[in-house]
Structure 1
């Protein structure tokens, strides 16, 4: 079986809502941030999270050199930050221009606002074709007032929306002659 056409694959994946976070880190030359749509929880004990970074992105060099990074769970009023940190041609200083933030003790930029910040230490990385999968161990969670979350769906940023009703399915009834 041949590999799927990348444009068909991309179009299909746009139908899968994905969480949007901004990851920030300090590299040897500059601080940078990147909008991530591949964020996931990996484990609870120890607490691990993961995300992918393209090898040709400027953030790849920073992630390869950093020991600490921060994952910012954006609030619904922060879609502009997702767009800001997704612009490929900006330098590190340009990314943070007019973005309220401060630095933590490791020099990692911490953005103001949002629903949460996960302060992470790099746990592992794994090559994945043209990307690299990074796993971070969460050292501290900075909970903030819940401001919803940002999702990426059908090529646009969206809020979480309303809760959907669900019903429990009835158990399957087996005939008396069925065996387990």
Structure 2
């Protein structure tokens, strides 16, 4: 009764009927409940998304290169394209059908729409370089196969030599799902390498591109071919760690990583780990990152900072005797010619 009298008083005060007040409160309560439910769903969806990403980072992915080609009549030449792909799955054994996922949009997707055929190459553990080469962004006219041993099939599909396995496919169907195109391919020819090399696998662990994930894992596992451990590879490694951990956080990863890689390749290493040279390039790469923030790829970073490829840059800061002293090899020493960039 008290609640009824209260409604009556409020209604008379504001000129609203008791039923109107009740209906208004019901609507308000429903909105509150709905709002709370939406927030709960959002939190649950966000939680699921983050956990999904974490789970997928624990699942090893096989690294494949997808290739396709077509003849350009107007330019009288073959257009050949390849892309590194980690979303590769067996769908059916009978008949043999596989699936690959391609970013939306992409040049490869447009090419497959025209050709309706492609090849899937399962890379060997020592073919990290191929994974890197075909993960780079390229312009439409650029040829990706200049330094890649390959041949064209009668159907015009580029086949890379000496992979762990190759499957030639005809398009079965394609679907757009989220931010990817899912292509299903009917396998009409499959070849396996006679060698016993392990396939290249990787884990999706961070923000990195597919190519950099493959590279960093091969570096950390010391499975990166020693001939690929070039000056540019040193810069790529430093860029990845500094971008992920910051300069100070990257130092132990870089130092221990190089030492481990050298130990695993001690029969090939001639010079060995040098603390001052390592710290110099950490400082240089960190400074270059600071000058060009937000660069999405190592290739673009390097394009903006080509001077880093010049191995004589360090001579502007250190005299030969100072740099190659025993002290400089085992502990960091400040330059004697020019101050390091901050």
Q: TM-score, normalised by structure 2?
A: 0.43
Q: For each residue in 1:66-87, what CA deviation from the matched residue of structure 2 results, as whole angstroms up to 9, or x when unmatched?
A: 2211000111111110111000
- In the superposition, relative to structure 1, how do residues 16 and 138 fare at CA in structure 2: closer, same or farther (>3 Å)? same
Shift of 1:92: 5.9
Q: Distance in 2 between matches of 1:8 and 1:57?
A: 28
Unaligned runs of 5+ in 1: 162-180
Unaligned runs of 5+ in 2: 1-40, 73-78, 207-212, 222-342
| More contact order relative to length (CA 8 Å, sep ≥ 6) | 1
Q: What is the number of equivalent residue pairs in this alignment?
A: 160
1:4 pairs, out of 46, 63, 75, with 46
| 1:71 aligns to 2:120 (yes or no) | yes
Higher strand share: 1
Identify the residue that residue 21 of structure 1 maps to in structure 2: 64
Shift of 1:9: 5.6
- In the superposition, relative to structure 1, how do residues 136 and 130 fare at CA in structure 2: closer, same or farther (>3 Å)? same
Shift of 1:118: 0.3
- In the superposition, relative to structure 1, how do residues 19 and 91 fare at CA in structure 2: closer, same or farther (>3 Å)? same
Q: TM-score, normalised by structure 1?
A: 0.79
Instruction: Give 4+ residue runs of structure 1 displaced > 6 Å after superposition.
Output: 5-8
Shift of 1:4: 3.2
2:172 pairs, out of 123, 148, 163, with 123
Identify the residue that residue 159 of structure 2 maps to in structure 1: 110
Decide which structure has the larger Cα Rg and report it: 2
Q: Distance in 2 between matches of 1:124 and 1:96?
A: 27
- Secondary structure at the counterpart of residue 4 of structure 1: helix
Identify the residue that residue 198 of structure 2 maps to in structure 1: 148
Question: RMSD across aligned C-alpha pairs, in angstroms?
Answer: 2.4
- Is contact 1:28–1:65 with CA below 8 Å preserved after alignment? no
Q: Distance in 1 between matches of 2:86 and 2:156?
A: 24
- Secondary structure at the counterpart of residue 113 of structure 2: helix
